Protein backbone atom coordinates (compact mmCIF):
# COMPACT_ATOMS: atom_id res chain seq x y z
CA UNK A 1 0.00 0.00 0.00
CA UNK A 2 1.33 3.40 -0.90
CA UNK A 3 -1.14 5.36 1.17
CA UNK A 4 -2.96 6.91 -1.76
CA UNK A 5 -5.96 7.65 0.41
CA UNK A 6 -7.40 7.31 3.88
CA UNK A 7 -9.86 4.60 2.82
CA UNK A 8 -9.87 2.21 -0.14
CA UNK A 9 -11.46 3.65 -3.27
CA UNK A 10 -13.94 1.60 -5.23
CA UNK A 11 -15.61 2.86 -8.41
CA UNK A 12 -18.44 0.43 -8.97
CA UNK A 13 -19.56 2.20 -12.15
CA UNK A 14 -16.11 1.66 -13.66
CA UNK A 15 -16.11 -1.97 -12.53
CA UNK A 16 -19.53 -2.46 -14.15
CA UNK A 17 -18.28 -1.02 -17.45
CA UNK A 18 -15.51 -3.62 -17.75
CA UNK A 19 -17.26 -6.59 -16.13
CA UNK A 20 -17.19 -9.54 -18.49
CA UNK A 21 -14.89 -7.81 -20.98
CA UNK A 22 -11.47 -8.90 -22.11
CA UNK A 23 -9.14 -6.63 -20.19
CA UNK A 24 -6.73 -5.55 -22.89
CA UNK A 25 -4.14 -2.84 -22.35
CA UNK A 26 -6.57 -0.09 -23.43
CA UNK A 27 -9.30 -1.21 -21.01
CA UNK A 28 -6.83 -1.48 -18.13
CA UNK A 29 -5.43 1.98 -18.91
CA UNK A 30 -8.95 3.44 -18.89
CA UNK A 31 -9.72 1.84 -15.52
CA UNK A 32 -6.43 3.12 -14.09
CA UNK A 33 -7.12 6.62 -15.42
CA UNK A 34 -10.59 6.64 -13.85
CA UNK A 35 -9.18 5.67 -10.45
CA UNK A 36 -6.38 8.23 -10.64
CA UNK A 37 -8.90 10.94 -11.57
CA UNK A 38 -11.13 10.01 -8.62
CA UNK A 39 -8.44 9.63 -5.99
CA UNK A 40 -7.30 12.27 -3.56
CA UNK A 41 -3.88 11.05 -2.47
CA UNK A 42 -2.29 12.34 0.69
CA UNK A 43 1.23 13.61 1.18
CA UNK A 44 3.39 12.37 4.02
CA UNK A 45 7.05 11.72 4.78
CA UNK A 46 7.09 8.78 2.34
CA UNK A 47 5.93 10.75 -0.69
CA UNK A 48 3.96 13.66 -2.00
CA UNK A 49 0.44 13.50 -3.40
CA UNK A 50 1.90 14.32 -6.82
CA UNK A 51 4.31 11.40 -6.58
CA UNK A 52 1.46 9.08 -5.66
CA UNK A 53 -0.62 10.32 -8.62
CA UNK A 54 2.39 9.63 -10.82
CA UNK A 55 2.92 6.00 -9.70
CA UNK A 56 -0.74 5.00 -9.30
CA UNK A 57 -1.39 4.13 -12.97
CA UNK A 58 1.48 1.62 -12.98
CA UNK A 59 0.44 0.12 -9.65
CA UNK A 60 -3.21 -0.16 -10.68
CA UNK A 61 -2.22 -1.71 -14.00
CA UNK A 62 -0.03 -4.25 -12.21
CA UNK A 63 -2.78 -5.11 -9.73
CA UNK A 64 -5.39 -5.62 -12.46
CA UNK A 65 -2.99 -7.65 -14.59
CA UNK A 66 -2.12 -9.94 -11.69
CA UNK A 67 -5.73 -10.30 -10.61
CA UNK A 68 -6.81 -11.02 -14.17
CA UNK A 69 -4.16 -13.74 -14.48
CA UNK A 70 -5.07 -15.07 -11.02
CA UNK A 71 -1.65 -14.41 -9.55
CA UNK A 72 -1.94 -14.19 -5.79
CA UNK A 73 1.35 -12.53 -4.92
CA UNK A 74 1.43 -9.06 -3.43
CA UNK A 75 1.50 -6.26 -5.98
CA UNK A 76 4.61 -4.74 -4.41
CA UNK A 77 6.50 -8.08 -4.35
Q: What is the pLDDT of residue 3?
A: 67
Q: What is the pLDDT of residue 68?
A: 81
Q: Is residue 75 part of a domain?
A: no
Q: What is the pLDDT of residue 74?
A: 54
Q: What is the pLDDT of residue 20?
A: 86
Range of the domain at 33: 12-68
Burial group, residue 4, by CB count within 10 angstroms (0-12, 13-18, 19+):
buried
Q: Is residue 73 part of a domain?
A: no
- Taking the C-alpha atoms of residue 52 and residue 63, their distance in angstroms, rounded to an integer, is 15
Q: Is residue 38 part of a domain?
A: yes
Q: Is residue 61 part of a domain?
A: yes
Q: Is residue 47 part of a domain?
A: yes
Domain count for the chain, please give it.
1
Q: What is the pLDDT of residue 64?
A: 87
- The pLDDT of residue 30 is above 90: yes
- Taking the C-alpha atoms of residue 19 and residue 44, their distance in angstroms, rounded to an integer, is 35
Q: Is residue 76 part of a domain?
A: no
Amino acid sequence: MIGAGVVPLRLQEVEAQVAGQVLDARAVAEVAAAYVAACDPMSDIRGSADYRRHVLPALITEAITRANSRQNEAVMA
